[in-house]
Amino acid sequence: MTLPDGITELAPGKIASVVTYLEMTQRPEPRAVPDLPELSVQLHDAPSAEAYLNLYRLVGEEYLWFSRLMMEPSALEAHLASDSVEVWTVQKDGTDLGLLELEWMQDGACELSFLGLSPALTGGGVGRWLMEHALERAFKRPISRFFVHTCTLDSAPALAFYIRSGFVPYRRAVEIADDPRLTGLIPESCAPHVPLVRV
């Protein structure tokens, strides 16, 4: 369905965002990253749904990340245990503070499913450092393209960050969904920059 030009009114209880899809077809030249000896990136084979969602909430609640919260725990654990999925965490002093999830598709592409940092790690080049790790992992296999999407609910610098990292926008869409704060998936206190409009 194509949305008409102009303003489209949302029903109460709904949120909307503009989604930008980006891709690259070859590994860009590596970018300089800061030396971060206090941080490490750890691969987690088949993490539990509980551990994964705790980190997912830590890095994504303020941006209303909700897709993984809607999955049944058994389905999520099967996804995380798949040979086509890698889940990495950024650790500081043994605590998980950042998330990187990659998924290799049957068509030869690789998706950057999630890349996020807790507020304690934002700034200082940690995102660029983690992206270089993501690029290295994705292009270790013979892939046709590496792709990601972001939206206007994400952090303000996210889109520019992906473009600086070498991704090229190729499509946009409007996503409309139930506000996860009103369905109980996310606390109502999250994302105060997105006003609550109750049913």
Burial of 48 (0-12, 13-18, 19+ CB in 10 A): middle
Instruction: Give tens-digit pLDDT for 73-82.
Output: 999 999 999 9
pLDDT interval class at 1 (50, 70, 90): low
Q: State the Cα angle at 178 between 15 and 87, rounded to 5°.
A: 95
- How far, in Å, CA of 130 to CA of 107, rounded? 25
- Closest residue by Cα to residue 25 from 135, 181, 180, 154: 135
**Mean per-residue pLDDT for 5-31?**
95
Whether the per-residue pLDDT at 2 is higher than 80: the answer is no
Q: Tell me the CATH number of domain 15-26+36-178, given options 3.40.630.30, 3.40.50.2000, 3.40.109.10, 3.40.47.10.
A: 3.40.630.30
